[in-house]
Every structure is written in C-alpha cells, then in structure tokens.
C-alpha cells in the first residue's frame, strides 16, 4: 500500500498492506473500512474526501491489480465501485468481476453500477454525461444505510 498525502492505494492484500489497514483502523478507533474502486483517477481525491466528510474510513483500491482474493483477505465492510470515463459497451475498465460475488455490500455508481449489471448479465443503457456522485453523496450520504453503517461512530 502506498500512502500519499491523504489517499491510501491498495494494490494487493499483502501482509504489509493488511497491517497498515489494521493500524489505521486502530488509530481511527474504527472496526470498519470501505474499499473504493475508483474508475476515474481524476475524481479519486474528491470521492475519498466526500467519504471522509461522512466519517467513513476508505481505502482506495486499484481496480487493475486488486482481485477478489485480495478483497476477501482485506475484509472490508463495503465496497464502492465509482464512475469513470470508460464504457462497459466499448472498452470496459480492468476489474475482477468475481468481487461482485463475494457477498460484501457493494454500491456501484454510474459506470460501477453498469459493471455490476453486466457481471450479472443484465442490460444497461447509456444516459449521457452526468455527475451523480458529487451531487448525491453529500446531500444523501448521511441517510444511506450503506454509508451510515460505515461511519466511524457506528457501533461494530
């Protein structure tokens, strides 16, 4: 795991990375964390910051290198697969779809939801260019059970 100014990047569930997550959870006095698969490097910091404002400890996971086995070892309380500029129709981003089968609560945002739908053999349709994440999470995040359960002050 590489720690930059305020974003953690999980590239695999190495013993060192798992120790760093456990230590960060101890310091933050939380028993839960969220994996954020960011499909758009330009919005990673924004997504990470929005979750932090809600009191959620998030670890940004590299969608190209983190596999289902890594996610199982890390044992997050939830997963968010964000949107991005790629398309599930012409050039889907690299992502291990087996992650969707782990039974971990998962929220797909825009492209992330389309990826989940495609993995479940469901149809998705393009709705044009929208920015749901920035508009939706700050306004509704505190009332979404998915995110409320992950807030630091939530009981384990």
CA angle, 48 then 49 then 52, to 5°: 90
CA angle, 93 then 48 then 71, to 5°: 55
Report the pLDDT value the prediction gives residue 48, as an integer from 0 to 100: 79
Specify the CATH number of the domain 2-148.
3.40.50
Q: How far apart are CA 135 and CA 21, in angstroms?
A: 29
pLDDT digit string, tens, across residues 15-60:
988 998 999 889 888 888 989 898 877 777 777 788 888 788 889 8
pTM: 0.74
Nearest of 29, 35, 3 to residue 99 by alpha carbon: 35
**Which residues on adjacent β-strands are paired with residue 79?**
35, 106
Q: Supply the DSSP symbol for 79.
A: E
Report the pLDDT value the prediction gives residue 71, as an integer from 0 to 100: 95
Paired tokens of 12: 């695999």
Q: What is the mean pLDDT of residues 63-72?
A: 93
pLDDT, greater one: 45 or 68: 68
1-5, 7-11, 36-40: lowest mean pLDDT where? 1-5
Paired tokens of 7: 């974003």
Confidence class for position 142, pLDDT limits 50, 70, 90: very low
The answer for residues whose C-beta is within 8 angstroms of residue 16's C-beta and 6 or more apart is: 1
Report the pLDDT value the prediction gives residue 145, as an integer from 0 to 100: 55
Is the distance from CB of 13 to CB of 20 less than 8 angstroms? no
């Amino acid at each position: 795991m590489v720690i930059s100014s305020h974003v953690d990047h999980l590239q695999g569930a190495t013993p060192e990375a798992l120790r760093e997550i456990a230590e960060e959870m101890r310091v933050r006095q939380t028993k839960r964390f969220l994996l954020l698969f960011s499909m758009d490097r330009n919005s990673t910091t924004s997504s990470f910051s929005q979750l932090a404002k809600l009191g959620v400890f998030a670890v940004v996971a590299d969608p190209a290198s983190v596999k289902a086995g890594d996610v199982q070892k890390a044992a997050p309380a939830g997963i968010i697969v964000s949107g991005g500029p790629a398309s599930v129709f012409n050039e889907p981003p690299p992502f291990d779809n087996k992650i969707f089968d782990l039974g971990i609560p998962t929220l797909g945002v825009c492209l992330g939801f389309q990826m989940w739908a495609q993995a479940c053999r469901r149809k998705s349709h393009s709705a044009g260019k929208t920015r749901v994440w920035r508009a939706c999470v700050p306004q509704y995040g505190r009332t979404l059970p998915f995110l409320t359960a992950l807030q630091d002050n939530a009981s384990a």
